Structure 1
Amino acid sequence: MASVPLRLKDHAYDVLIGPGVRHRLADTVRRLGAARAVVVSARPAEWVPDTGVETLLLPARDGEEDKTLATVEALCGAFVRSGLTRNDVVVSCGGGTTTDVVGLAAALYHRGVPVVHLPTSLLAQVDASVGGKTAVNLPHGKNLVGAYWQPSAVLCDTDYLSTLPARELRNGYGEIARCHFIGAPDLRGLPLERQIEASVRLKARVVEADERDAGPRHVLNYGHTLGHALERATDYALRHGEGVAVGTVFAGRLAAALGRVDAARAAEHEDVVRSYGLPAALPEGVGTRELVRLMRHDKKALDGLAFVLDGPGGAALVGDVPEDVVARVLDAMDRRPLAELVAPGPAAVASAGAAQERAR
């Protein structure tokens, strides 16, 4: 088991990573002093560990379709009916959309109740459950309504990953791949648990330096500006990690077009993305003009188009990027049928099989 500390000025918690760590939940709840818990789970009841206290189990559904304010309202209503107080605890058990929605509900209910995350997907373990960002979508774009609300603990049980299909595992690799360009060592070829640990350590270090996106934390959005636009443009047929992977390739090419990196460094972006079995092309039928329009809704776009891009001093937020340069880079990217982009590559299939074999 690995333990990654995350220490902020007014809050501290640990991220535990390894097989069976979900069974630490009762100890965690006891440490918090909670008398009751509400567990919101997108996984079968047998995958939900004992909390050690009186518990209400609420079913959830992973997926962008439920990542809405209506879902948050429904959860808060259930909290009221259960008698949940600020001395109790909310627990999420599911993928990244579940941790986002449950985290936001916990942040808003009674102006904040403790929340513990049990992320069950690779994407949620390496990114969504750690760092305190919670949000839901609007029809206009991704994650436009949210709050910062740090969890009290994160239990990344790698046994959960044994149930993931290859494509869902690949979805998490999109976040791991982009770590290559924001300060992580080369994670290719390492055991999955070490990849998760390295990704979490990187994120914890960045969040400790900048909890609320005042500056350095922007680097965690590497590849996300185009990635979020691609999710919206395909009505979420392209998953988050897949979109981030394509966005990472784009970020390398845009950085080269702006003279921030050379051609070899730009090509490295595609090499890394493809090594994880991830897509590197835009989907056919999604026009450049539509993508630019969607990217203007990005939260970082305070003045024109903004992207986190590689450069001589490492990744940094670059604002007011000329639209014609963005359009030219998008037009030059390869385009493939959406069905081809969402088919997991050999690397993702092999990794899914290895994860399942380890759990047997």
Structure 2
Amino acid sequence: METLTTISVPLGQQSYSIAIGQGLHQRLHELYPARASQRGYVIASDNLAELFGAPVLHSLRLAGWDVDLLTVPDGESAKTIEIAGTLCRQLAQSGLDRGAVLFALGGGAVGDLVGFVASIYMRGIDFVQLPTTLLAQADASVGGKVAVDLPEGKNLVGAFHQPSAVFMDTHALRTLPVRHLRAGMAEVVKHAVIADIDLFSYIESQLDDILAVDAEALKHLLARNCQIKVDIVTQDPLDKGVRSLLNLGHTIGHAVEAATEEWEIHHGEAVAFGMLVEGRLAVQRGICAESALERLRRLLQRLGFEADVDSVDLEQARAALRRDKKIADGVLRLPLMFDVGDARMVDDVTVEQLDAVLCETLRDDARLL
């Protein structure tokens, strides 16, 4: 049996562990046993319920869980107040109490939604992350940020609610369409740009094995990636300071996501584009060398993103940017790249500066990358 890689997230009473390895969906009976008669629900998107629902339910029931399955729509469309409310009503109608646990089986959107429901149902119950996409394993499942969207913007209604455990089954990544795998890599690259030039170099040298879903390459990648995020989150669990570094690429990325029909650009693709736009601003401000930005651009180009700017409504993107929840008095405290492996917070970026570099980039580039 394969040895697990385990990473601790030390947050006092909210501490938990991240387990990384192959076949974890079939090992939940040994990894997460139930207390006597403990109830729960596995919540998954329709597609992922077909792929992974049966083995996860079987393994949990072997562990003593009284557990059933609820499904939600696929992707970002599930992250609404309405669907969260429907789930809460289903939990209440089933008689679920505060000792119950929700299991979020799927990508980042399902994890966000289920975590949000867990944070508000009966003023908070436990939930477990079972991320099945690289984006969710690399980023969304770790750190306790949970939210749903509004028509006015992404993640505008949310909470901080840490999971009680995270189980990353790398075997699940073999089912991913290549576009989703590449998009997930954007979040890993982001963490490397923030804090680890060695991880960045590893990605450069091992990218072919990573995209071929090599088990050992992925386990090493995810372990180092998650440790970077854990080190930051444990310093600042409520996002009041250093955790803001993890927003690298996201200010522009969220604006671009919101400016396409039906979330046509994937989150990772938008973050990759956001890193380049914000990197361009860093170069213009004289805090980052052009060579560092070009090194980042070359790696992102090797990932082969499919999205292009024809799908982005510039005026919608600009409007979404101006609604960003981090703006105070027209100024953003924004993470910017100083070098590969070195991102820092910059306190005096105006909305006008960021708007200008967004417009320049969308005008000059034929593709997002």
Q: What TM-score does the superposition give when structure 1 sets the normalisation length?
A: 0.87
Matched length: 338
CA distance in 2, matches of 1:321, 1:271: 26
Check the 8 A contact 1:135/1:146 in 2, yes or no: yes
Compared CA separation, residues 34 and 215, structure 1 to 2 (3 A): farther
SS of aligned partner of 1:169:
helix
Could you tell me which amino acid in structure 2 is paired with residue 256 of structure 1? V
Alignment partner, residue 54 of structure 2 = 46
The letter for the 1-side match of 2:345 is L
Q: Does the aligned pair in 2 maintain the 1:303–1:319 contact within 8 Å?
A: no
Task: Quote the residue 2:325 is aligned against.
Answer: 299
Q: Do the aligned partners of residues 35 and 88 (structure 1) sit closer, same or farther apart at CA in structure 2, a change above 3 Å counting?
A: same
1:207 maps to 2:233: yes
Corresponding position: 1:221 with 2:247 = yes
Does 2:60 correspond to 1:60? no
* Aligned counterpart for 1:241 among listed residues 259, 268, 290: 268
* Structure 2 gaps, min length 5: 207-216
- 1:219 Cα deviation (Å)? 0.8
- Paired AA for residue 322 in structure 1: T
Report the alpha carbon displacement of residue 165 of structure 1 after superposing the two structures with TM: 0.7
The Cα RMSD (Å) is 2.2
Matches of 1:260 and 1:288, distance apart in 2? 27
Moved more, 78-87 or 38-47: 38-47
Q: CA deviation at 1:30?
A: 2.4
Q: Partner letter of residue 24 of structure 2?
A: V
Matched, 1:120 2:132: yes
Structure 1 residues without counterparts, runs of 5 or longer: 342-360
- Tell me the equivalent position of 1:270: 297
Runs (4+) off by over 6 Å: none
Counterpart CA distance in 1 for 2:154 and 2:237 is 20
> Cα gap change, 1:251/1:134 in structure 2, threshold over 3 Å: closer, same or farther?
same
Shift of 1:117: 0.9
Trace 1:184-195 onto structure 2 (pairs within 5 A). Answer: 184=196, 185-186=199-200, 187-188=202-203, 189-190=205-206, 191-195=217-221
Deviation by residue 1:285-336 (Cα, 9 ceiling, x = unmatched):
6465543321122222223242311237932333442344334422332333
Q: TM-score, normalised by structure 2?
A: 0.85
> 1:107 Cα shift?
0.7
Q: 1:226 to 1:261 in 2, by over 3 A?
A: same
Matches for 1:1-360 after TM superposition, within 5 Å? 1-30=4-33, 35-42=38-45, 43=48, 44=50, 45-49=53-57, 50-51=59-60, 52-184=64-196, 185-186=199-200, 187-188=202-203, 189-190=205-206, 191-235=217-261, 236-278=263-305, 283-284=309-310, 286=312, 288-306=314-332, 307-311=334-338, 314-333=342-361, 334-336=364-366
Q: Per-residue deviation at 1:277?
A: 2.5
Q: Give the structure with the larger helix fraction.
A: 2
The 3 A distance-change label for structure 1 pair 177 and 82 is: same
Report the CA distance shift for 1:12/1:327 in structure 2 as closer, same or farther (over 3 A): closer
Instruction: State whether residues 252 and 358 of structure 2, in contact with CA within 8 Å, keep that contact through their aligned partners in structure 1.
Output: no
- Residues of 2 paired with 1:327 and 1:207: CA distance? 29
Shift of 1:62: 2.7
CA distance in 2, matches of 1:3, 1:260: 37
Contact in 1 for aligned 2:276/2:297 (Cα 8 Å):
yes
Counterpart contact for 1:126–1:176, Cα < 8 Å: yes
